[in-house]
Structure 1
Amino acid sequence: MEVAKQLVKTTTPKLKLAALLWLEGFKEGCCLHRAVILCLRSRKLLVRTGQCFLFNGFIFLGSLFILNSVVIPTLQRILPDQCSQLGSHKFCDFGGILKFYSFLRLGLIDFFYVFWVYPLYVFSMVLCVIWYNDIAKHGYDAMGRSKSTVEESSSQTKSLEKANASNTKRLSGLGGIMIGIGEQVYSLILLNVFFLKVYATGFVPFIGKVLSFVLHSWMYAYYCFEYKWNFNEVALDKRLDYFQSSWAFFSGFGSPCVLSLFLFSRLVGYGIMAILFPLFVLTAIGCKGDQEISLEKSKWRGVKMGRLPIFYIADKVSMWILSLIRRIMTRQKTTKLDDSR
């Protein structure tokens, strides 16, 4: 009994602090007006954001709207699946006619998906990767146009820049290039493994949806802030450590970003996400609350937030993949040397 009371006494303040930081992160994530301000400062940013909005909102979501509101109802009338919808009941005497209509209707719908919706989906993903990088770059440039903005943002990155200063010396010359390439490869594998983990949690019974929502929030929050950290040249190990130390804040920041994925169907949710994601990227670039909360509010009534190993499984799997690749390359090199002899 005493152990239980002691456990409650020690965990309650931490839960309160986590809730406080989550709310702060959620509030920061909802500050989409920062994206509007940055767009008004930069014409290039406004054009890129407008292109992203038009393609994903007007063309992609518009195509889904036409398919569901016009094409499918029209096919349902032309190729009905019930006798009451047929003009003559003579066709009902032929049992296979309704099955043929149903098969033909579903085939035409699949045709629209395969040759129109899915190609748009893939094309949107490719374009968005390019557009998001441009949007982040133009947004970061727009941040530098205001002296007050520079003064505000400078306080955000001082701690990370100091922590990253020790890595600056080693990132020079050919060795630095190789380390940079290695970090990029590791980061790519890590995030892809983490994405698979997020996707897999959705199939967990009972709590799968909740776990998936939380992990999606962290994943998209990391994506949003990664652009900012890249521009500030923050080392990968520093950003991962910082992210996992401020897990409650980033969970709150990513929550409004992923709501569309859970409120709508997969394709519609993706289309809405593709429209809103650049706004959250710009919000993250203009966000000064992440550093302030991590540094100034990490202690609350003497309570410290612990580091949550969010990327632990992804890190272990990534390191295993890299070691496997290294063994394969070493084996191939040894085989070539033996053959040359």
Structure 2
Amino acid sequence: MGIKHIFIGIGYGLFDSIKGIILLIVLNNEINSFNSDDNNLDERSFDNLVSKKKTPDRRESKILKQVLKCCTLNGLFTWVSIVLFENGMLPGLHYITTLLGGNPNSWETIQLFLRVIFNFSWVLPIFVLSKIVSGLWFQDIADEAYRFRKGRPTMFPNISKFVADTSFSLLVQILFLIQSFIVSFIPKHIGAVLCFIHLCLLYSLYSFEYKWVNMGWELDKRLSYVECNWPYFIGFGIPLTILTSLPESIIVSGCLFSILFPIFIISGNEAKPIVGSVFIPVRLFSPVVALTNLLFTQLTGHKRNS
């Protein structure tokens, strides 16, 4: 299979990812419609009266609500506060100090000091808190979408295996992000392209991981699936990679990611990846998996089972 199949895979991935905003509304309405119809059925069934069975308690879909909460928390409280500080408070203080006859040369030092205080006393704590809370909302969104489309999630054999898989996955993702930063230093634009590909694959893994975990896929299978079908997952990760790279501030980029990411969770849950477009997998995750295995061996004294 040649270049044509690679571009077809990338195109399908790109198309599936940007459908998320439409899928979000459609899925939310379908769940609400299903719940409403189900609650109107057999409101006083004779069989239920005799057997004393209770009608299942159906809740209104919370997918759209959770997405709006993510937008409010990350957009209103974090992002807006940064914009107000940079474009409102700092220029205002600069104007006041100028009127009071302050030394213009000292403003740069004062501005730097104010930024440090603001970032450490407000932005950083709120950002960390928002990431934790958003993570819980992401899980709610993914779980409800999965249950509606595919039924009850497949559970891991035991809680210890789930914790080990989650911990290993988190470390792999952190090291892969560091790897993307390292390859960006390769000259002649090669590094920039490799870094972009890394981020596309990583964001795709983020988006699909909720569904795959609910399907009972362990990390090795998830990573192998991404590596073997890399054209599709590069395409799927392109929109989120481009959008989150636009802000210069890492904090603002993180806020934008948290606002947009629920849409890509829905896209990943609904998507049907194109497989078989290439015969040669791209083993970009292999170095960090090997390093993570080494770290786990050093910390626990036992090699992780694949």
TM-score (norm 2): 0.79
**How many residues get paired?**
269
C-alpha separation between the residues in 2 aligned to 1:178 and 1:107? 46
User: Which ranges of structure 1 fall in alignment gaps of 5 or more residues?
Assistant: 1-12, 81-85, 92-96, 145-149, 151-160, 162-167, 330-341
Alignment check: 8 A CA contact 1:56 1:275 kept: yes
1:239 aligns with 2:222: yes
Match of 2:177 in 1: 195
Deviation for aligned residue 1:140:
1.6
Paired position in structure 2 for 1:253:
236
| Residue of structure 1 equivalent to 2:46 | none
Computing the radius of gyration over CA atoms, which structure comes out larger, 1 or 2?
Answer: 1
Task: Measure how far apart 1:252 and its partner are.
Answer: 0.4
Residue identity in the other structure for 1:76: H
Residues 1:37 and 2:35 are matched in the alignment: no
Equivalent residue number for residue 100 of structure 1: 106
Please give the root-mean-square deviation of Cα atoms over the aligned residues, in Å: 2.6
Matching residue's letter, 2:233: F
Rounded Cα–Cα distance in structure 2 between residues aligned with 1:307 and 1:322: 26
> Is it true that 1:272 corresponds to 2:256 in the alignment?
yes
Name the residue aligned to 1:73.
91
Residue number in structure 2 paired with 1:281: 265
Give me the whole-angstrom Cα distance separating, in 2, the residues matched to 1:249 and 1:140: 21
**Distance in 1 of aligned mates of 2:113 and 2:265:** 40
User: Structure 1 CA distance, aligned partners of 2:129 and 2:177?
Assistant: 20
User: Could you say which residue in structure 2 is the equivalent of 1:25?
Assistant: 13
Deviations 1:33-57 (A, max 9, x none): 1122123335322221111111112
Distance 1:227 1:317 in 2: 24
The 10-residue stretch of structure 1 (215-224 or 185-194) with the greater mean CA deviation from structure 2:
185-194
Asked if the contact 2:204–2:237 (Cα under 8 Å) also holds between the matched residues in 1, the reply is yes
What's the offset of the Cα at 1:278?
Answer: 0.7
CA–CA distance in structure 2, aligned partners of residues 111 and 326 of structure 1:
40
For 1:115, the equivalent position in structure 2 comes to 121
1:243 Cα offset (Å): 1.4
Distance 1:131 1:141 in 2: 15
Structure 1 residue 177, shift from structure 2 partner: 5.7
Cα distance in 2 between the residues matched to 1:245 and 1:328: 28
CA distance in 2, matches of 1:142, 1:242: 24
Task: Tell me by how many angstroms 1:15 deviates.
Answer: 2.4
SS of 2:280's equivalent in the other structure is coil
- The aligned amino acid for 2:270 is G
- C-alpha displacement at 1:283, in angstroms? 0.9
C-alpha deviation, 1:67, in angstroms = 1.3
In the alignment, structure 1 residue 314 sits paired with structure 2 residue 297: no
Q: CA deviation at 1:181?
A: 4.5
The one-letter amino acid paired with 1:260 is: L
Sequence identity of aligned pairs in percent? 24
Report deviation, 1:201: 3.0
C-alpha distance in 2 between matches for 1:245 and 1:101: 55
SS at match of 1:308: coil
Separation (CA, whole Å) in 1 of partners of 2:206 and 2:104: 49
Q: Distance in 1 between matches of 2:104 and 2:120?
A: 24
Which of 195-204 and 46-55 deviates more? Answer: 195-204
Structure 1 letter corresponding to 2:18: C
User: 5 Å matches for 1:290-309?
Assistant: 290=273, 293-294=274-275, 298=276, 304-309=278-283
Q: CA shift at 1:222, angstroms?
A: 0.4
Q: Secondary structure at the match of 1:233?
A: coil
Matched, 1:53 2:96: no
Distance (whole Å) between structure 1 residues aligned to residue 85 and residue 8 of structure 2: 44
Distance apart, 1:237 and its partner CA: 2.5
Say if 1:103 and 1:188 are closer, same or farther in 2 by CA, change over 3 A.
closer
Equivalent in the alignment of 1:324: 298
Helix, strand or coil at the partner of 1:234: coil
Question: Among residues 247, 250, 263, which one is paired with 2:246 in the alignment?
Answer: 263
- Partners of 2:94 and 2:107 within 8 A in 1: no
Asked if 1 retains the 8 angstrom alpha-carbon contact of 2:24 and 2:64, the reply is no
> How many angstroms does 1:17 deviate by?
1.7
Q: CA deviation at 1:259?
A: 1.4
Does the C-alpha gap of structure 1 residues 142 and 63 become closer, same or farther in structure 2, counting only changes over 3 Å?
farther
Which of 136, 149, 161 matches 2:142?
136
